[in-house]
Amino acid sequence: MDILISLAVFVLGLCVGSFINVIVLRYEKKESIVKVKSHCMKCGHELKFWELIPLFSYLFLRGKCSKCREKISIIYPIVELCTGLLFMFSYWSFLSMPFFKTYLFSGNVLYMVLAILSLLGFFVLLSVLEVISIYDLRNLEIYNSFLTVGFISTSIFIIIQNYLVYKLQVLESGLFYNNTHGMAIFFGDQFSRYPFLSNILGFVILFLLLYSIVWVTRGKGMGEGDPYIAGIIGLWLGLFMSIVFMVISFALGGIIALGLLIFKKKRKGQVIPFGPILFLGFLITFFFGGSLVSAYFSLL
């Protein structure tokens, strides 16, 4: 059963990855996502259904358009594969969370639906962050519509998550976190009384921190959309793991910037998109944050 669900989640991720490619390309070309049918960007050939199967169509067509034989970018199947794997690994991570596994297999239809919605909400957040990262990497720009969808999906997710967590009564006074990754983080008795306080503080602190960098550097040190990305991630992670997330993200940013300068891929003063770095920092925090925190405290 677990294998079948994992496979279904992976296929869902492949399909979403294909749609992510469409969104990025259509926004770049200023085309409608809904009205315009999928087509070859070179010759305009309208793609048939068998040319739209994520990953497999690329392999079947040997990476070329079936009509003009123009090469299809390898980036498209990579995005599809990575999204499929991210969805599947995220599902496995959710299974390690007490509230999710308990309610998913509870037999209670309402709780099962809420558990599934919490997972789907996270998938939406992942997809939005992936779109933002790819578009920012290619165009050094972040659309407000992407941020709006990310904020709404995250807000819905934390409402469902907090309801299920408190129903299960797994939170007690003091620090609580899953030892595999950063999820449902609350710190101190005051947060157990006010379940959304940690999420709100995570949003506010990360947004203000990055916005202050934008303001001080007048937009030269960071893009104006980055504080909103960090705020959305902070809203999801909560206060404690937001701190861990920022440490990881700034460390990544420093390492990547130094590497680009050393290998002369960027010159001093050139813009380096921070959106993809925030996304990577979020993934590391989600999958390994709890373990990193445990390892750190074990050294003290």
Per-run averaged pLDDT (10 residues), the chain, 300 residues: 89 96 90 80 80 89 84 92 96 84 81 84 93 93 89 83 64 39 40 68 93 87 89 90 93 91 77 91 92 83
Q: Are residues 88 and 108 in the same domain?
A: no
pLDDT of residue 189: 40
pLDDT of residue 23: 93
- The b-or-e profile of 56-81 (16+ CB within 10 A means b, else e) is ebbeeeeeebeeeeeebeeebbebbb
Q: What's the distance, CA 173 to chain centroid?
A: 30
Q: Are residues 169 and 291 in the same domain?
A: yes
pLDDT of residue 165: 65
pLDDT of residue 177: 40
Q: Are residues 86 and 6 in the same domain?
A: yes
HSE of 265, CA atoms in CB hemisphere, 13 A: 7
From 76, 95, 114, the end of a domain falls on: 95
Q: Are residues 59 and 40 in the same domain?
A: yes
pLDDT of residue 173: 38
Q: Are residues 132 and 237 in the same domain?
A: yes
From 52, 78, 95, the end of a domain falls on: 95
Q: Are residues 221 and 148 in the same domain?
A: yes
From 55, 77, 95, the end of a domain falls on: 95
Q: Are residues 111 and 79 in the same domain?
A: no
pLDDT of residue 61: 86
Range of the domain at 136: 98-300
Q: Are residues 135 and 252 in the same domain?
A: yes
Q: Are residues 167 and 300 in the same domain?
A: yes
pLDDT of residue 166: 64
Q: List phi, psi (to 5°) of 26.
A: -65, -40
User: Is 71 strand, coil or helix?
Assistant: strand
pTM of the model: 0.87
Q: Are residues 213 and 258 in the same domain?
A: yes
Q: Are residues 262 and 215 in the same domain?
A: yes
pLDDT of residue 217: 85
Q: Are residues 2 and 87 in the same domain?
A: yes
How many domains is the chain built from? 2
- The Cα–Cα gap between 220 and 214 comes to 7
Amino acid identity for residue 115 in this structure:
A
